[in-house]
Amino acid sequence: MRYLHTMVRVKDLDASLHFYGTLFGLKEIRRSENESGRFTLVFLAANEDITNAEKNGAPCLELTYNWDSEEYTGGRNFGHLAYEVDDIYATCRHLMDNNITINRPPRDGRMAFVRSPDGISIEILQKNGSLPAAEPWLSMGNTGAW
């Protein structure tokens, strides 16, 4: 068995690609437009997974955009996506500088949570253990749900 992808339905494909691609740094690996089904699939990969994703089609995040308007509600059966980063503080600073709320700051230098434009919870984990605790993260409280 091998992991292939996680599918997330999105309401605004451009806003989601800006978040996942421009701000979060994922790269579009492939895209599929289905006119008869009226949907678009966009597959994204993290920087260290790009070669594998291009060669083997995995691991990826699949954004599913249904062309007809549809309201999605979050279910407790879906927890979160998780990505490992080289510097959690720099990643969180970059997201904050681009108006993304850090719902659970990296007070421990190891873990943070944010939400996508569609309310998907994303866990950010520090590669190779924790960084030393540092401000402003150490004093920052949680915001909203994560």
d(CA 44, CA 17): 9
Q: Is 86 helix (H, G, I), strand (E, B) or coil?
A: coil
- Which residue's structure tokens are 């966009």? 42
User: Taking a C-beta distance cutoff of 8 angstroms, is the pair 28, 42 a contact?
Assistant: yes
CA dist 119 and 74 (Å) reads 7
Active site residues: 123
Name residue 20's beta-bridge partners. Answer: none
